[in-house]
Amino acid sequence: MRQLWQGWWAARHPLSDSHLMGQRNIYILPSRPGLAFCATLGLLLLASINDQLSLGYLLTFLLTGAGLASMHSTHANLRGLSLDLAAPEPVFAGDDVRLNLRLHNSGGARYGIGVHVQGGPRSEIAWTDVPAQGHAVLGLRFAAKTCGRQPLPTLQIVTRFPLGLFRSWSVWRPASMVWIYPQPEQPAPPFPAQTEGGSGQAQSSSVLQRGQDFEGVRQYRRGDSMRQVLWKKAALSLAQADSGGSQLWVRETHAPVAQTLWLDWRDCAGLSAEARASRLCAWLLAAERAQAPCGLRLPGGELPLELAPNLGPEHLRACLQALTLQVSPSGAPR
């Protein structure tokens, strides 16, 4: 019976990054104030029958009509509304995942639309109004507790508009996944010692690149930064233009290229898998900030995984994803 129920539920709410609410996926029940309102109507009806009060009947039926109209309005506040979301940005374990939801309304104005993580505290509901024939953007946060490539949690879209007597909701199961990287160790420890020479070992480099250290002056070449121009010397050269001495000069600055680093899973021997991942994550971020090309070695099956030294956001993302899969090879089940 449980498998049948889960199969029916999954078929009724398929995984999708867009959600259109209609008769098949909107549910409605009386809220606590609504239950108290129904009990009050019952007492008014009993009192009117017992005392044969015509005005009592009138008041009871008027309030009943208002309650039924409220139920219809609450249900219609969600019907026809559609939502979609963008792929969430990666975060570190312990931080908050931010979802950017966009609500599309093809009908009249909608008020009091809330979205929250199903099973989460009601105090974390994000509320918004959607104008008629318009759109609204809603930000939703939830805690990223464990690292890995995790599925997004099931979301609920709720409303109690207009009187709060009924609670209408719809269930949305997003299809996107979110990368949750290991939390970097704080403060980041020093980089591991590097071995000179050898295959795949880090080597120091004496090649020079543009940096901050002053080396000398040279004539201006097309493509040089205007910040490097020696303007005082240029002004003096301009003053001597009559004698044919006009020339722009620029500073020549160089700095040593950062040492290429190899970060190895074995450099963190003696730590747990989570602590190793946390330390390697801190080293990767520190190397990227220092603009030091770094490579990553992780244990694999027959052959270890090796990412060649490089720089840039793409390389950093590839290293962090490989490190995440090393700790959590598969995402949590839906």
Cα 75 to chain centroid distance, Å, stands at 30
3-state DSSP assignment of residue 55: helix
Taking residues 308-328, what's their average pLDDT? 89
Sign of the alpha-carbon torsion through 233, 234, 238, 243: positive
Residue 191: predicted pLDDT: 83
Gap between the Cα atoms of 165 and 223, Å rounded: 70
Residue 1: predicted pLDDT: 79
Rg of the Cα atoms in the chain: 32
Residue 34: predicted pLDDT: 94
pLDDT tens by residue, 125-145: 899 999 999 999 999 998 888
pLDDT tens by residue, 134-185: 999 999 998 888 888 999 999 999 999 999 999 999 999 999 999 999 999 8
pLDDT tens by residue, 196-255: 543 344 343 333 344 444 456 677 766 566 766 777 776 776 666 555 555 777 766 554
pLDDT tens by residue, 99-120: 999 999 998 999 999 999 988 7
With 70 as the cut, is the pLDDT of residue 259 above it? no
Provide the mean pLDDT of the chain: 82
Q: Which pair of structure tokens corresponds to residue 173?
A: 């199961």
List the single range of 7-16, 73-82, 257-266 with lowest mean pLDDT. 257-266
